[in-house]
A and B are shown apart, each in its own frame.
Chain A
Amino acid sequence: MQDKQAYLDAIQLVLDEAKAQGASACECAMGVEAGLSASVRLGEVETLEYHQDKGLGITVYLGQSKGSASTSDLSADSIKQTVSAACGIAKYTAADECAGLPEKDRLAWDYPDLDLYHAWDVQAEQALELAKECEDHARAFDKRISNSEGATTSSHRGNHFYANSHGFIGHYPSSRHSVVCSVIAQDEQGMQRDYWYTASRNPKELESMRQIGETAAKRAVARLNARQLPTGQWPVLFTPDTAIGLVGHFIRGIRGGSLYRKTSFLLDSLGEQIFPDWIHMDEQPHIKAALGSAPFDSEGVATQSRDLVKAGVVQAYVLDTYSARRLNMETTGNAGGVHNLTLESSGHSYEDLLSQMGTGLIVTDLMGQGVNNVTGTYSRGAAGFWLENGEIQFPVHEITIASNLKEMFKGIIAVGNDMDHRRNIRTGSILVDKMTIAGE
């Protein structure tokens, strides 16, 4: 990036200015992004959006008191004012013995190049053409595809900078390219919509437009003529894109913020058996070119590979510097979240899981936020398919599935090898022994 030196200069000005204004410590993060989103609907251009964003966030410490401020204006005047605003807040916030920068030796002084930036010189015309191709495949797939919400090609590139008054300055470029398609199927019973997408840091690794379009169409058509189920208790199979949420609820439960505030259903779970004894979960922040990779976290702390769950037992929490100090622990390099968290498969294919479940509910879509992190109570809207003797019988919707997360985790029977790599959390399908389905 040609302006890199200008951004580094701006960051240096932040650090110098903070010192000059009396801050005992300072950190700042800056993101600079540019990109394009091109949408096509029913074969015609719908929107063409050009994105250009930059933002600078500054945190200062006056002793143990903290204040933050942000701006998108990187002029010297604006930077001085923003530092002054942060100091103005720190003058009033209460001192907190746990506040402050990460320990110096935890910073990523020598961070790896993770191959996170892959240029894609895609112009509007080509982006629109790809989106059109994707949507065309979806619309041609089945006569019942009656309408479309369109297809969108997006390409974004950015540079991320982090620096603090320990003398650390880290930065790395990254990219994210994607194509998403959403279509509507219709029959005499009504309409159903579904979507599919591909996303990658490297444009060469995007799935084919045919694959995305046809998957979106197949999913929408398969939902037609859905019905409710009678209320009862059944096994539930979460497909990978919904299973990611389940793993996410676990992560939220072992995050430092939830633990020190005692707002987690997994308090004191370190060393406890939360899952069946064959479950293994790890974090691999340095996978080359992966969407969830990062050389350092949002506090400049070096990220590292580690086990979170071994033989069903919680090995470590997900901590940033502040929450770690509150818990008398050390940061795990997770300020800002986890990086490529993977739930290991039990070796079963999706088809194995269907025959293993026999009769029960396959969940392909979840709705609402009915998960209570304090109690683990789980109750969400769902749609999917009813399975009998390992065979799909009919699509279902307008039902809820409910249980408690602790019971659901203990009740995991198998994890499929149909791994979804598009998100920060990677898992295959998850089969849970029993949940309450509410319907008719």
Chain B
Amino acid sequence: MSDTIEIAKATFLNPFGLQESDLNQTLAKIMSPGGVDDADLYFQHTHYESWSLEDGRVKDGSFGIESGVGVRAVNGEKTGFAYSDDISLAALEKSAQTVRAIARQGQSQSVQAWTGMQTGHQLYQALDPLGSLSQEQKIALLESVDVEARKQDPRIKQVMVSMASSRDVILVAAADGTLAADVRPLVRLSVSVVAEQNGRREQGSSGGGGRTEYDFFLNQDRGLEYAREAVRQALLNLEAVDAPAGNMKVVLGSGWPGVLLHEAIGHGLEGDFNRKGSSAFSGRIGEKVASPICTVVDDGTLSGRRGSLNIDDEGTPTQVTTLIENGILKNYMQDKLNARLMGMKPTGNGRRESYAHLPLPRMTNTYMLAGEHDPEEIIASVDKGIYAANFGGGQVDITSGKFVFSASEAYLIENGKITQPVRGATLIGNGPDVLTRVSMVGSDMNLDKGVGTCGKDGQSVPVGVGQPTLKVDGLTVGGTSA
């Protein structure tokens, strides 16, 4: 998109008197003395804002700007990295000099010529969401969400609403001939409520977002729907009894419960862990790691989704990568470094939190394709177990394969029927075999609403997950009721 190219040039080059040839020459300073396999420059300019409401009033707001450039040199498995919040030829040259510390003795390498600036897919527009509503309209939106939550039920005692947006402009120039830019809008709205009844207090929360503008929350009354959903969860939790403890059949809801896939198998299939042999999935491509009804993909190409990117942070266009097909492990997710070292192709999964962080193989939107069962049929097939409809976050130890994720809305299933809501509980399992126990997959594939953030090596990036309703024939549920 020409917009993106114009914005990138106007952000990083023109104001600082830099030309594309300066980037090329900086890369040449890293490459040409020899002993370096690849090098890249990552320019970033982000501006963001957030607004928050409590006690019925918007009392806090903030705005910020971050910009800088990260410079990387790669030699085999070695990486040299420096960054600066000063964008100038002098700063680039200083960083270029610094990162050569990892160079070996070697032959001079040339910088591949680039053929114009690439912008990848067109999954979202080069928008600036901060200005997409007036300040008055933003405040009115937050207040309407608060009013909607409070009017649902007198037991709602506290409502907290926060809304944030950002516009991230990036430009990547690499010695391998990559020159690419992207303009990434992102909005998010979250609601959290506290309900009180007879001295018992419970929380409920909801939210959503994507790579778009604030009117996303006005369309289809999405903001108000988040308010109603948060209230529904809080009121439900007022009735919840202690969760059971032990290994049992678990039916997972569609949508955000796909965090199961993110933790149980997603991280374990990131290229860096597999190159190093530290993942429980290392060396297992071609093996059966799930029941034949499971097909799981990582898809960075969904229009407007929080986890989607036109190009990844190394300039590679994102793609749909099949991780598991009919139960067989097919592919890993790769950035350039790990793909090269493993003799594979980059998959558009090289992502970084900012210019001040190194890229790593990361997920985009990770989900399981729909199966053939009606969700009600799946519940009806369980004599005794739990139905976990919604979750908070999760975590995985990729080496042992053990993963957890915490249910925020769950019910007992007795004789094929949902009976009682139960308190939140953590579920724990083993990544490499949990999907082998998936015995039914629903026809109701859904993606999450767009608030997911994934952490790895201290770096946070926005991601998406999704799945249809599915049944796992044995998972450990961490309640207190024996």
Query: Do the two chains belong together in a single complex?
Result: yes
A190 to B136, CA, bound (A): 58
Cβ A403 vs Cβ B203 within 8 A? no
Cβ B406 vs Cβ A369 within 8 A? yes
Cβ A191 vs Cβ B280 within 8 A? yes
Cβ B77 vs Cβ A46 within 8 A? yes
Chain A, residues 139-173, CB within 8 Å of chain B (1/0): the string is: 00000000101000000000000000000000000
B64 interfacial contact with A, CB 8 Å: yes
A390 to B49, CA, bound (A): 55
- Quick one: closest A residue to B64, CB to CB? A70
A67 interfacial contact with B, CB 8 Å: yes
Q: List B residues 394-451 near A (Cβ within 8 Å).
A: 394-397, 399-406, 423-430
A311 to B379, CA, bound (A): 51
Cβ A380 vs Cβ B426 within 8 A? yes
Cβ A374 vs Cβ B84 within 8 A? no
B477 interfacial contact with A, CB 8 Å: yes
B342 interfacial contact with A, CB 8 Å: no
A370 to B404, CA, bound (A): 9
> Provided the pairs A48-B80, A368-B406 are in contact, do residues A72 and B478 lie with their beta carbons within 8 angstroms?
no
Shortest CB–CB separation between residue A394 and chain B, in angstroms?
A: 15
B68 interfacial contact with A, CB 8 Å: yes
Q: Name the segment of A86-94, A130-138, A279-287 touching the other chain.
A: A86-94
B247 interfacial contact with A, CB 8 Å: yes
A149 to B398, CA, bound (A): 12
Q: Which of A44, A400, A437 has the most CB of B within 10 A?
A: A400
A401 to B479, CA, bound (A): 8
- Quick one: closest B residue to A59, CB to CB? B62
Cβ B101 vs Cβ A48 within 8 A? yes
- Quick one: closest B residue to A37, CB to CB? B81
Cβ B58 vs Cβ A92 within 8 A? yes
Q: Write out the residue numbers on chain A whose beta carbons fall within 8 Å of the beta carbon of B62.
A: 67-70, 86, 89
A96 to B246, CA, bound (A): 49
| CB < 8 Å neighbour of A398 from B278, B423, B476 | B476
- Quick one: closest B residue to A67, CB to CB? B61
- Is chain B's interface secondary structure helix, strand, loop, or mixed overall? strand
Cβ B400 vs Cβ A193 within 8 A? yes
Cβ B393 vs Cβ A368 within 8 A? yes
A269 interfacial contact with B, CB 8 Å: no
Chain A, residues 65-97, CB within 8 Å of chain B (1/0): the string is: 111111111000010001001101111111010
A94 to B143, CA, bound (A): 11
> Provided the pairs A45-B102, A263-B194 are in contact, do residues A72 and B404 lie with their beta carbons within 8 angstroms?
no
| CB < 8 Å neighbour of B79 from A48, A367, A397 | A48
Q: Which of A94, A226, A397, A440 has the most CB of B within 10 A?
A: A94
B63 interfacial contact with A, CB 8 Å: yes
B456 interfacial contact with A, CB 8 Å: no
Q: Write out the residue numbers on chain B whose beta carbons fall within 8 Å of the beta carbon of A263.
A: 158, 194, 201, 203
B153 interfacial contact with A, CB 8 Å: no
A315 interfacial contact with B, CB 8 Å: no
Q: Which of A41, A50, A440 has the most CB of B within 10 A?
A: A50
A19 interfacial contact with B, CB 8 Å: no
> Provided the pairs A149-B278, A262-B157 are in contact, do residues A68 and B424 lie with their beta carbons within 8 angstroms?
no
Cβ B60 vs Cβ A380 within 8 A? no
A99 interfacial contact with B, CB 8 Å: yes
Cβ B482 vs Cβ A231 within 8 A? yes
A96 to B57, CA, bound (A): 9
| CB < 8 Å neighbour of A89 from B61, B401, B479 | B61
Cβ A66 vs Cβ B194 within 8 A? no
B66 interfacial contact with A, CB 8 Å: yes
A439 interfacial contact with B, CB 8 Å: yes
Cβ B245 vs Cβ A398 within 8 A? no
- Quick one: closest A residue to B272, CB to CB? A149
A226 to B397, CA, bound (A): 14
Q: List A residues 25-62 near B (Cβ within 8 Å).
A: 41, 44-54
Cβ A380 vs Cβ B402 within 8 A? no
Q: Which of A68, A124, A192 has the most CB of B within 10 A?
A: A68
Shortest CB–CB separation between residue A405 and chain B, in angstroms?
A: 12
> Provided the pairs A184-B278, A193-B278 are in contact, do residues A438 and B479 lie with their beta carbons within 8 angstroms?
yes
Shortest CB–CB separation between residue B446 and chain A, in angstroms?
A: 23
A438 to B429, CA, bound (A): 11
Shortest CB–CB separation between residue A122 and chain B, in angstroms?
A: 14
A440 to B429, CA, bound (A): 11
Q: Write out the residue numbers on chain B whose beta carbons fall within 8 Å of the beta carbon of A89.
A: 49, 61-63, 135
Cβ A402 vs Cβ B425 within 8 A? yes
Q: Write out the residue numbers on chain B whose beta carbons fall within 8 Å of the beta carbon of A233.
A: 482
- Is chain A's interface secondary structure helix, strand, loop, or mixed overall? strand
| CB < 8 Å neighbour of B276 from A41, A93, A397, A400 | A41
Q: List A residues 327-378 near B (Cβ within 8 Å).
A: 365, 367-370, 372, 374-375, 377
- Quick one: closest B residue to A64, CB to CB? B59
> In the complex, how many residues of chain B place their beta carbon closer than 8 angstroms to a beta carbon of chain A?
79
Q: Write out the residue numbers on chain B whose beta carbons fall within 8 Å of the beta carbon of A69.
A: 62-64
- Quick one: closest B residue to A49, CB to CB? B81
Q: Write out the residue numbers on chain B whose beta carbons fall within 8 Å of the beta carbon of A50.
A: 81-83, 95, 98-99
> Provided the pairs A149-B276, A261-B158 are in contact, do residues A66 and B81 lie with their beta carbons within 8 angstroms?
no
Cβ A147 vs Cβ B277 within 8 A? yes
Q: Write out the residue numbers on chain A whose beta carbons fall within 8 Å of the beta carbon of B378.
A: none
A261 to B77, CA, bound (A): 49
Cβ B425 vs Cβ A370 within 8 A? yes
Cβ B426 vs Cβ A370 within 8 A? yes
A404 to B428, CA, bound (A): 19
A397 to B397, CA, bound (A): 11
Q: Write out the residue numbers on chain A whose beta carbons fall within 8 Å of the beta carbon of B64.
A: 69-71
Q: Write out the residue numbers on chain B whose beta carbons fall within 8 Å of the beta carbon of A436.
A: 245, 478-482
Cβ A369 vs Cβ B278 within 8 A? no
A367 to B399, CA, bound (A): 14
A440 to B135, CA, bound (A): 55
Cβ A381 vs Cβ B426 within 8 A? yes
| CB < 8 Å neighbour of B61 from A49, A92, A96, A367 | A92
A404 to B425, CA, bound (A): 11
Q: Write out the residue numbers on chain B whose beta carbons fall within 8 Å of the beta carbon of A147.
A: 276-278
Cβ B58 vs Cβ A375 within 8 A? no
Cβ A72 vs Cβ B428 within 8 A? no
Q: Which of A82, A370, A402 has the most CB of B within 10 A?
A: A370
Cβ A439 vs Cβ B402 within 8 A? no
A383 interfacial contact with B, CB 8 Å: yes
A399 to B400, CA, bound (A): 13
Q: Write out the residue numbers on chain B whose beta carbons fall within 8 Å of the beta carbon of A400.
A: 245, 404, 425-428, 476-478
Shortest CB–CB separation between residue A380 and chain B, in angstroms?
A: 6
A288 to B203, CA, bound (A): 41
Cβ A192 vs Cβ B203 within 8 A? no
Cβ B278 vs Cβ A381 within 8 A? no
Cβ B68 vs Cβ A72 within 8 A? yes
Chain B, residues 215-233, CB within 8 Å of chain A (1/0): the string is: 0000000000000000000
> Provided the pairs A368-B406, A375-B202, A436-B245 are in contact, do residues A47 and B81 lie with their beta carbons within 8 angstroms?
yes
Q: List B residues 244-263 near A (Cβ within 8 Å).
A: 245-247
Q: List B residues 352-398 near A (Cβ within 8 Å).
A: 356, 358, 392-397
A78 to B15, CA, bound (A): 14
Q: List 14 A-B contacts (CB under 8 A).
A: A45-B102, A47-B78, A50-B81, A52-B83, A68-B61, A93-B60, A147-B278, A370-B392, A375-B201, A399-B476, A404-B480, A438-B428, A438-B477, A439-B246
Binding site for B on A (CB under 8 A): 41, 44-54, 65-73, 78, 82, 85-86, 88-94, 96, 99, 124, 147, 149, 184, 190-193, 223, 226, 228, 231-233, 261-263, 365, 367-370, 372, 374-375, 377, 379-381, 383, 397-404, 436-440
**A-B interface, 5 closest residue pairs, ranked by CB to CB distance from nearest:** A400-B478, A381-B404, A368-B404, A370-B426, A94-B57
Binding site for A on B (CB under 8 A): 49, 54, 57-68, 77-85, 95, 98-99, 101-102, 135-136, 138-139, 157-158, 160, 194, 196, 201-203, 243, 245-247, 276-278, 280, 356, 358, 392-397, 399-406, 423-430, 476-482
